Amino acid sequence: MARDFKVNVKTNARELKREFGRLAKSQLPFAIAAGLTDTAKEAREKVRKDLPNRFTVRSRRVLSTVVFEPASKRDFPRSKAIVGIRDKFIARHEKGGRVRTETGARFAIPFRFVKRTATGRIPARFKPRKIRSKPNTITTEDEIQRKGTKRTRGVRRIHFLRQSINLRPKLGFLSTVSILARHRFKPNMETRLRKAIKDTELRAARRAR
């Protein structure tokens, strides 16, 4: 996962044991792990829902970059669920700032005249790697250009080339997940605990018949 951010959530185990009795102790590892997993799912969906308000989402691939890993009761009392961003470039928008490519290559930024597909993507024929393979392509220090034909004379500028770009901190991932975790973990965990205790009592009653 490209980036994940730690958000601490706490619960009062003693208070829960008093409320639910002895069964709470045996069911707490499951309830906490399930509550964390439920909260992580909600956080993932909240971040996905907010992305179109923060970015121009041209493909559902952008939404699928927000993922989570479930918690396990085997890790109790250090159970954790992780919500993260798989796409490194999108994750960089959390803090923003000036960024460079990891390989040292330059960013290719298309000129406005480059028409996009119906889904908003750059057509394959205008992708930097594809267009550079054409014999009528000129690559300068700052641009990728294409020579005109007999019908379209002159030179068409296809991409800017930049060593670095400045990103605005607009992801809002940490604040979104933190607020949701603080408000949703406890009710999610208590719901899971009540259900686990009820199911345990029902199984015990069936065995006693």
User: How far apart are the two ends of the chain, measured CA to CA in Å?
Assistant: 50
Give me the half-sphere count of Cα atoms (radius 13 Å) on the Cβ side of residue 173: 28
Predicted TM-score (pTM) above 0.85:
no
Residues 6+ apart with CB under 8 A from 100: 163, 164
| pLDDT recorded at residue 1 | 56
- The string of pLDDT tens digits covering residues 148-197 is 666 656 677 777 788 888 888 888 888 999 999 999 999 999 999 989 88
Domain map of the chain by residue range? Answer: 3-96+168-208, 104-165
- The string of pLDDT tens digits covering residues 20-78 is 666 667 888 899 999 999 999 999 999 999 988 887 776 777 788 899 999 999 988 88
Helix axes 173-208, 13-20, angle to 10 degrees: 30
Q: 192 is written with which tokens?
A: 């899971």
Whether residue 94 has pLDDT greater than 90: no
